[in-house]
Amino acid sequence: MEKAKLLKLMYQYRSLGFEYFKELKPIDKKLISTSANSLHEIELKVQNCHLCPLAKSRKNVVFGEGPQNAKIMFIGEGPGANEDESGRVFVGRAGQLLTKIIENVLNIKRESVYIANIVKCRPPNNRVPTLEEVTACKPYLLEQIAIVKPKVIVALGSTGYHHLSEDYNTPISKIRGEILEYGDAKLIPTYHPSFLLRNPSAKKDVFADMLKVKNLL
C-alpha cells in the first residue's frame, strides 16, 4: 500500500517536470582520475600495453576517438574484426548503425562525440572480455572519462553497462533508459548496436533512450 502511494507521488512529481535519477552504488570519484594532461598522453601508454592476454592476439589497439571536450561518451564492449584491422572504434556494421543513431536521432555529427570500449584489444572470435581483461583495461577508460568530463555517458549493451556500473545483477533490458548518476556525469544504458542488428524491433527503445540523452545536453 505504502509502495503504491509512493509510486503515485513519483508519477505526480514527474508530470510536474521533476526528473527522477536512480542511485547507483556510488562510484568512487577518485577512480575517475588521471595524471595525464591529454587523451594523447593516455593513448601513448595504451598503444604499448601488454597488461592482459589480449595483447598477444590483437592486430591494433583500439583506443577510442572523439574530441577531448565531447559532451557525450558512448562506451561499447570491445573491438571487433574491422576495428582490430583498422585500429578505429565502431567502424563495422554496428558502428555504421551507431553513426546513424548519433546523426539522425541526436542530430549531431559522430565526430562531436567520444566513442570508446571497455577493453581496447579484440577478444578472440568476438567473445565477451573476461573479468581479468576488463580489470586490467578499465582504468584506461576511467582516465579517458577524467579527461573528457562528459555530461552524459551512454553504456552500449550489457558488458558496457555491467562493467562501468559494477552492477552485475540487473539485465540491460531492465535498466536501459534509466538515468543514473556516474561521478559528475549521467549514465544512460541502452542496447548495443550489434543487438539492434539482430533485433531491429528494439530500435524504438534506443530511439526513446536517445531522446533522454538529448534532453540532458
Binding ligand SF4 (rule: CB under 6 A), the pick from 27, 32, 42, 54 is 54
Binding ligand SF4 (rule: CB under 6 A), the pick from 137, 147, 164, 187 is 137
User: How many residues line the site for ligand SF4 (CB under 6 A)?
Assistant: 14
> Residue 20 in contact with residue 11, Cβ under 8 Å?
no
Binding of residue 62 to ligand SF4 (CB under 6 A): no
Binding ligand SF4 (rule: CB under 6 A), the pick from 72, 89, 101, 136 is 136
Binding of residue 36 to ligand SF4 (CB under 6 A): no
For the purposes of burial, counting CB atoms within 10 Å of the CB of 24, is it exposed (0-12), middle (13-18) or buried (19 or more)? Answer: middle
The SS3 assignment for 116 reads: strand
Binding of residue 52 to ligand SF4 (CB under 6 A): yes
Residue 189 Cα distances to 21, 32, 44, 56, 156, angstroms: 13, 19, 29, 31, 6
Binding ligand SF4 (rule: CB under 6 A), the pick from 24, 36, 49, 108 is 49
Binding ligand SF4 (rule: CB under 6 A), the pick from 70, 91, 119, 146 is 119
> Residue 119 in contact with residue 78, Cβ under 8 Å?
yes
> Residue 213 in contact with residue 188, Cβ under 8 Å?
yes
Contact positions vs ligand SF4 (CB under 6 A):
46, 49-52, 54-55, 61, 119-121, 133, 136-137
